[in-house]
């Protein structure tokens, strides 16, 4: 997925996260993260953002995130939404099927 514009998703409410995905020259993901729970969950949040982008095939992007205590599923959902918006794409792919 190619990042061609700025995509933002999420809010500043408690338990949410705002993720901004922007185009970047060259390969790689530049990630800056601010979090209320940096010490306890900073690494985990960063991992979820990177994994989510990798799954979407985003190889090049500037990502900044401001976290207000979001769960992993929220971090992933906001990252997905921001990436699709930044790619100006609505060809959503939902690969994961819940196991019951």
Partner 1 sequence: MDITKIPHINEVSAFHGEYKPEDCEKKSTVRFDERQKASRKVLPSIEEAIKRSGLKDGMTISFHHHFRNGDYVVNMVVDQIAKMGIKNLTLAASSLTDCHWPLIDHIKNGVINHIETSGLRGKLAEEISRGLMDFPIIFRSHGGRAAAIETEELHIDVAFLGAPSCDPYGNANGYNRDDENSSCCGSLGYAKLDAQHADKCIVITDHLVNFPNAPFGIPESRVDWVVVVDNIGDPKGIMSGATRYTKNPKELLIAKTAADVIEASGYFEDNFSMQMGSGGASLATARFLRDKMIEKDIKCRFALGGITGQIVQMHEEGLVKRILDVQSFDLIAANSLKNNRFHQQIDASYYASYVNRGAAVNQLDFVILSALEIDVDFNVNVMTGSDGVIRGAVGGHPDTAAGASLTVVTAPLLRGRIPTVCERVNTICTPGNTIDVLVTDQGVAVNPNRPELKEKLIAAGLPVTTIEKLKERAEKVVGKPEPIQYKDRIVGVLMYRNNTVIDVIRQIKED
Partner 2 sequence: MSGRLRRSMLFVPGNNPGMIRDAHIYGSDSIMFDLEDSVAITEKDTARFLVYKALTTLNYGKKELVVRINDLSSGIGIMDLEAIVRARPDVIRLPKTETAQDVIDCEREIERIEREAGIPVGSTGMMAAIESAIGVLNAKEIAFSSKRLIGIALGAEDYVTDLKATRSPEGIELMFARGMIVNAAKAAGIMALDTVYSDVNNEEGFIAEATLIRKMGFDGKSVINPRQIRPLHAVFTPSERDLKKAMAIMDAIAEANARGSGVASLNGKMIDKPIVARAQYLLELYERSKAMPVEEV
Residues within the interface to partner 1 (CB under 8 A): 14-15, 36-37, 39-41, 43-44, 68-72
Burial class (CB in 10 A: 0-12, 13-18, 19+), 73: exposed
Region of 75 on the Ramachandran plot (φ > 0 left; ψ -120 to 50 alpha; else beta): alpha
From CA 38, how far away is CA 62, in angstroms rounded? 20
Between 31 and 81, name the residue whose CB sits nearer to partner 2: 81
Residue 36 interacts with, from partner 2, partner 1, none (CB under 5-8 Å by kind)? partner 1
Between 25 and 94, name the residue whose CB sits nearer to partner 2: 94
Closest approach, Cβ 18 to partner 2, in A, equals 11
């Amino acid at each position: 997925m190619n990042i061609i514009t700025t995509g933002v998703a999420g809010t500043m409410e408690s338990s949410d996260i705002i993720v901004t995905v922007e185009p970047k020259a060259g390969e790689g993901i530049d990630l800056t993260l601010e979090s209320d729970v940096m010490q306890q969950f900073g690494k985990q949040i960063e991992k979820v953002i990177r994994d989510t982008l990798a799954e979407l095939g985003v190889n090049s992007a500037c990502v900044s995130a401001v976290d207000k205590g979001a769960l992993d599923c929220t971090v992933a959902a906001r990252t997905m939404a921001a990436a699709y918006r930044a790619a100006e794409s609505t060809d959503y792919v939902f690969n994961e099927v819940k196991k019951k």
